[in-house]
Every structure is written in C-alpha cells, then in structure tokens.
Amino acid sequence: MRRGAAVFCLGLWVMGTVCVSVVATQNFYTIDRLLADAPQPRFDEVVEQVGDDVARNFLRYLSSELNRLFFQYWNYAQFLIGGVAIWLVLGLPDGARLKWPLGVMLAILVVLTFVVTPPIISIGRGLDFVPRDPPPASLATFGILHGAYTSLEMIKAAIGLWVGYRLSRTV
C-alpha cells in the first residue's frame, strides 16, 4: 500500500510538471491561433479596433501573468507532494537508499522556487510591452534563466521517473 502510494505521488509529481509545462506553452500558441483564426466574431472586431500588435501584446501579457501564477502555485504544491513522497518512501524497508534522489528533487525544487523563479518573474515583467527590435539587454538573461529552469525541471522529472521505476520494480 505504502509503495503504491509513493509511486502514485511520484507519478503525480512528474505528470504535474508535464501538464504545467504544456499549459504554459499552449497559452502562448493560443494567442497566435486566435489572432489567425478567431472562432468568435466579436473577438475579431475588438482586434480590428485595437490592432493586431496591441492585441498580441495584451494577450501575451495575460498569458505571461497566468504562467507566472501557475508555475508559482505548482512549485509550492510540489513541496507537499515531495514531502509526502519522502515520508512514504522512508517507511519502506528499502526506502533509505531512495530518500537521496528524492532529496535531490526537493533541493532542485528549492533552487527553482527561491533562486530561479523570482528573477524570471521580475525580468519577465520588465520585458512585458517592451519592443523586441532591437532585443532588450535583459532578454538574454531571461533566456538563460528560462533555460536553467527548464533544464532543472527535466532533471527533476527524470529523477522522479527513475525513483518511480525503482519503487515499482521492488515488490
């Protein structure tokens, strides 16, 4: 029972990461889809009134704010999921060796939540509504932070998949 619950927590943790990433990406792609072929005629009327550039900037800002909110909430939710996963694993006869990779996952989460995310949010907000030609200097820093966030998330997810696999193989 405990082993199954631990595998469930790890599956939830990894799948939540995947889902939040997909939602964040789709938030931006949806803007281009709507502007190219809006299913709502009133939307087209509003876009015509304000212009494509203003509409795109406004919708990108909205998507950015939603993504910032989703990632912050998801980061905090992961602490709960990770804590429960470690507690469950520590109660298993072979759990002592699996606590370390789970600890690494939580350490990555601490770095993401308190070191990487705050400057991404701050720099990202500073880039909202700023023309990209020429690219603002902070855009490179934002790209590096975003790449670091994505890379750490993928490492964390890979560790979670590995721990879940190890738990499911030892019965």
Per residue in 6-36, pLDDT (tens digit) is 999 999 999 999 999 999 999 999 999 999 9
DSSP structure string for 67-122: HHHHHHHHHHHHHHHHHHHHHHHHTSTTGGGTHHHHHHHHHHHHHIIIIIHHHHHH
The reported pLDDT for the residue numbered 45 is 93
Q: What mean pLDDT is predicted for residues 66-79?
A: 97
Report the predicted TM-score, pTM, of the whole model to 2 decimal places. 0.92
Residue 100, class by beta-carbon neighbours within 10 Å (0-12 exposed, 13-18 middle, 19+ buried)? Answer: exposed
Confidence of residue 125 (pLDDT cuts 50, 70, 90): very high
Cα 102 to Cα 108: distance, rounded to the nearest angstrom: 10
Q: Residue 1 has what DSSP assignment?
A: -
CB 74 within 8 A of CB 118: no
pLDDT higher than 80, residue 171: no
The reported pLDDT for the residue numbered 94 is 84
The reported pLDDT for the residue numbered 39 is 84
Question: In 3D, which of 169, 17, 24, 163 has the Cα closest to residue 96?
Answer: 163
The reported pLDDT for the residue numbered 109 is 98
Amino acid at 38: A
